[in-house]
Amino acid sequence: MENYSPLLALSIFFIVVALLYVLFRPTKGWFWIIRKAFESSEKVIIEDVLKQLYHFETSNNRVDMKTLVQILDFKNTDIVEAVKKMTINDLIYSESDVLKLTEEGRDYALRIVRVHRLWERYLADKTGIHKKEWHDRAESMEHRLSHDEADELAEHLGHPKFDPHGDPIPTKTGKMASVHGVELPLLPVGSIGKITHIEDEPEVIYKQILAEHIYMGSLLKVIENNSTRIVFESEGEEFKLAPIVAANLTVALIEKEVVLEDNITRLSSLEENETAKIIGISKENRGDSRRRLLDLGFVKGSNVSIDLLNPLGNPNAYLIKGTSIALRKDQASKILIKKD
């Protein structure tokens, strides 16, 4: 106590806080970096290489050592080492410069993809983790789940065919459903389609799509399509996207002569003194929250109107089946209605 001075005490305190921050700050803290370094074993590198090769193969692109090293976030020497080992173990082979998967390697890659997509499905359906984080979490989980655990998970989820972005999940034997549709920028003006896939890579573009509130399974109609922008109408709202962003949306054309009903909109756009009938709940609303909405009476054919507007704008109370239920805007935007 003799040496006490408030300045000294404060500086010791701030040094300790700074130290804790450097060690434990989210994702970039030393503690996490060191832990990650321990986890990124050879197995992880091999599996990531296989996955990349698989993705390049399905999009008909060629990979050589140089691109591989650029894409993967590991030490170059480690990657070279891993590729050597994989060649010895007959997982990959090289034709001149180009790296290719063997039959065995493809099976292995499919297993990794299966775990990745199953885990995304799990995160979407059974947890409250935000969409933005699914990919990164699945990215680390795919190396940890064993084959049997993946099967168990698939059973628990009811053997889903698609992950929440619309990518097909390989079955145990490696079979995959195919995604119908083409990239949005390829559609002519006036065509009507349904969003069947939202690509989650690269992250920057995916985040833009999320911010626009574009949902899987929504019907859309292309209004304008040129080299600078693509405009489409969906669920009573108009969306404008740059072609590079729109290319991440896959849309299945609706062949039959369905007329896109003009007045299908989202519940969030309902005004005071209007009444509407509920058409359904968007696929984006999953799990417990979906079940709860159905329990409360948000089912097809129910009449709905606004009961109370919130002075702060959110949530609003909707009158449904004689009860007043308050919903936040992002929930209401996932309920489709047809105004009377």
Partner 1 sequence: MLASLLLDTVHPILKSGADSVHMHMPWWLAGFLIDGVYLAVAWVIAVMLPPMAIFFPMFTLLEDFGYLPRVAFNLDSLFNKSGAHGKQALTMSMGFGCNAAGVVATRIIDSPRERLIAIITNNFSLCNGRWPTQILIATIFIGAVVPDSLSSFASLLAVIGVAVLGLAFMFGVSWALSKTVLKGEVSTFNLELPPYRPPRFWKTIYTSLIDRTVIVLWRAIVFAAPAGAVIWLISNVHMGDETIAAWLINGMDGFGFLLGLNGVILLAYIVAIPANEIVIPTILMLTVMVTGIGGGAGAGVMFELDSINATGDILRAGGWTLLTAINLMLFSLLHNPCSTTIYTIYKETNSVKWTVVASIMPVILGFVVTFLVAQIWRLFL
Q: Applying CB under 8 A, which residues contact partner 1?
A: 1, 4, 6-7, 9-10, 13, 26, 126-130, 133, 287-289, 292-293, 296, 307-308, 310-315, 317, 323-328, 331
At position 268, the amino acid (one-letter code) is S
Tokens encoding 57:
């193969």
Query: Smallest distance from the beta carbon of 191 to partner 1, in angstroms?
Result: 36
- The C-alpha atoms of residue 254 and residue 181 are separated, in whole angstroms, by 9
* Choice between 13 and 93, CB closer to partner 1: 13
User: Could you please report the per-residue DSSP string of 222-247?
Assistant: EEEE-SS-EEEEETTEEEEE-HHHHT
* Residue of 50, 232, 26 lying closest to 136 (CA atoms): 26
Phi-psi region of 61 (alpha: psi -120 to 50; beta: other; left: phi over 0): beta
Task: Choose between 20 and 260: whose C-beta lies nearer to partner 1.
Answer: 20
Coil, helix or strand at residue 179:
coil
CA dihedral 9, 11, 12, 16 (to 10 degrees): 140
Q: Which is nearer to partner 1, 28 or 256 (CB)?
A: 28
Calculate the CA dihedral of residues 246, 134, 56, 99 and round it to 10 degrees: 160
- Least separation in angstroms between residue 285's CB and partner 1 is 10
Closest distance to partner 1 from the beta carbon of 126 (Å): 8
Q: How far apart are CB 181 and partner 1 at their closest, in Å?
A: 31
171/303 with CB nearer partner 1: 303
Give the containing element (helix H, strand E) for 37. Answer: helix 30-39
* Smallest separation, CB 276 to partner 1 (Å): 18
Q: What span, in angstroms and rounded, lies between the C-alpha atoms of 87 and 93?
A: 6
> Closer CB to partner 1, residue 128 or residue 190?
128
Give the type of residue at 277: K
Please report how close the Cβ of residue 61 comes to partner 1 at its closest, in angstroms.
35
Q: Which is nearer to partner 1, 48 or 120 (CB)?
A: 120
| C-beta closer to partner 1: residue 12 or 98 | 12
In whole angstroms, the minimum distance from the beta carbon of 328 to partner 1 comes to 5
